[in-house]
Amino acid sequence: MCCACGSKNDLQEPSAACTHLYCMGCLVGMFRFAVKDRSSFPVHCCGLIQLHTVLPTLDESAAKAYRAIWDEWMTAKKVYCPERSCSVFIPPRLIPHSVDADTAPADISFPCPTCKTGICAKCCRLVHRGEPCGEAENDYELALLATFGYKPCPRCGEGVKRMFGCRHVRCRCGADFCWACLSPKKDCNGDCVAHESEEGSEPEQNSEGSENGDADDDLVQSPKEPANLDLNTQAHWENSGLDFGDDPGDTRMPQIWSCVHQFDEFMAADGEELRHVSPLRFTRFRPADIRSVDTWSAIVASRRAPVGAAL
């Protein structure tokens, strides 16, 4: 029976890592929920559950949204549109990769796929023709994170704040790591020490305005520094009653650090079909349903030309 709802109808073994059964209704619901709640992404049991499992039933809009989130989740060095009113994720395949950061001209750019804003292919910020790429904005963002007591996730780079609890932190991208050394949980032996302060601090305020009195009324005031809304002790947050989510614990979670694999092209012998190939003998789906999670296109086997055939 379905281990989620107890149904005995339309059961599937969706994960190659276990033999747990799910009905198609629960599987579709899991994929729809994962699109709305990133903490439930990707859909998994004891191992990943691939999208092609529910493609015959899942509506196209949910499938499209899942593919987009998967692309973002799998990308280690994420790039977002620098136009703040857009900020959409840009898949690596849409960014020119033939750019040599040392020798390429500074005017190589590409458009945001959503808002069409020009983006520099070298620094992935707003296009700046004729001017060198600068890291000032990036340095400011990193300094601001450190000031407020945040750290960049070692996998996705997003700012993470440990409000209270042990050093085991799980980012919403799925990365489990040690807060002190930022190493994957499985690689940290627990004897690392955090040298920096656990708490953030308020940015220093410019006091010149109060010293100059009314004379400053005629001057353009500098923008107000952002306030650290998380500034407080860990004890305060622990006793606040606010819900920061469940502790990561030791539950099994697909741990993908976006490693790069190289595969040789599979050449099928004359008459050999993909469904008979050993690595795929465990799947219960027709070969036409199997999809690449990189291009989302159907996987097919290349064919060797018969001996003596004209090319």
How far apart CA 186 and CA 188 sit, in angstroms, is: 6
**Three-state SS at 51:** helix
- Longest Cα–Cα distance of the chain, Å, equals 94
How many whole angstroms separate alpha carbon 58 and alpha carbon 29?
A: 9
CA distance 89 to 158: 13
What are the residue boundaries of the structural domains of the chain, listed by start?
A: 11-74, 267-303
Average pLDDT over residues 151-174: 80
State how far the alpha carbon of 187 is from the alpha carbons of 178, 220, 259, in Å.
9, 52, 16
SS3 65: helix
Segment 87-115, tens digit of pLDDT: 899 988 888 875 455 555 556 889 999 99
C-alpha distances in Å from residue 6, one per residue of 1, 28, 44, 222, 284: 5, 15, 18, 62, 21
Residues 67, 44: Cα–Cα separation, whole Å: 15
CA dihedral over 182, 183, 186, 188, signed as positive or negative: negative
Tokens encoding 14: 């969706």
pLDDT at site 281: 33
Report which DSSP code applies to 42: S
d(CA 183, CA 176) in angstroms, rounded, equals 9
Q: Which of 5-19, 53-67, 126-140, 248-262 has the lowest mean pLDDT?
A: 248-262
List strand residue ranges (DSSP E) for the chain, in order.
Answer: 11-12, 22-23, 109-111, 118-120, 151-152, 159-160, 168-170, 176-178, 267-268, 302-303
Q: What is the pLDDT of residues 181-200, one digit of tens each?
A: 888 877 887 777 654 444 44
Pairing state of beta strands 302-303 and 267-268?
Answer: parallel
Instruction: Tell me which residue has tokens 């691939």.
Output: 50
Q: 0.85 cut: is pTM over it?
A: no
